[in-house]
A and B are shown apart, each in its own frame.
Chain A
Amino acid sequence: ETGVTQTPRHLVMGMTNKKSLKCEQHLGHNAMYWYKQSAKKPLELMFVYNFKEQTENNSVPSRFSPECPNSSHLFLHLHTLQPEDSALYLCASSPEQGKRLFFGSGTQLSVL
């Protein structure tokens, strides 16, 4: 148990659905991250929040919308996704940006 909790663990959605992924950490960390992991590819950084402020947006399509209401919670809102968006979405936190990363177990997303 890393202290970073992601829900749901699995999600199947149609291309017209709207859903949200949730990440929660009670480690007292100030930085939170969304990563995408696709088969045979390196982890891709999507977004970074440091002290609730977005500091990185790695050219992510607007159908992915992050939200960070406080330092402990991070959401990824999904709408009108494409089948190629199917992947494992990982949340991570660190004491501050750039320090050791602690990952959640991920949400396995399938877009039909």
Chain B
Amino acid sequence: KQEVTQIPAALSVPEGENLVLNCSFTDSAIYNLQWFRQDPGKGLTSLLLIQSSQREQTSGRLNASLDKSSGRSTLYIAASQPGDSATYLCAVRNTGNQFYFGTGTSLTVIP
């Protein structure tokens, strides 16, 4: 069964810093990987989706990379802002159509 791990569980940085969130998965036979943002008590917002054939995707200050062979993905956030404070989750889809989620990294950006 696919297992998804996100480290660290929590991260606190000063405003303006660039930062990297990590996601690792045990089964490299994936179809795609998504990064989500979740604000407290709310649903998840899809940020980026990387297909298994892709190496990275970019949206504004966000860049997600995928290394399928090593079972890793990173989410890079440039010039962090207090509004970026949220929990970031990654989810991996296997060829069987099911998504497996990590437990997330709780990010706090300090003004």
B residues with CB within 8 A of A: 4, 31-32, 34, 36, 41-46, 49, 89, 91, 93, 97-103
Contact = CB atoms under 8 A, between A and B. Distances in A.
Instruction: Identify whether the interface residues of B are mostly helix, strand, loop, or mixed.
Output: strand
Contacts of A4: 43
Chain A: interface residue count, which band? 20 to 34
B97 A90 contact: no
Interface string A79-99: 000000000101010000110
B24 to A, nearest CB: 13
A100 B46 contact: yes
Contacts of B91: 43, 101
Nearest to B103: A42
A90 B103 contact: no
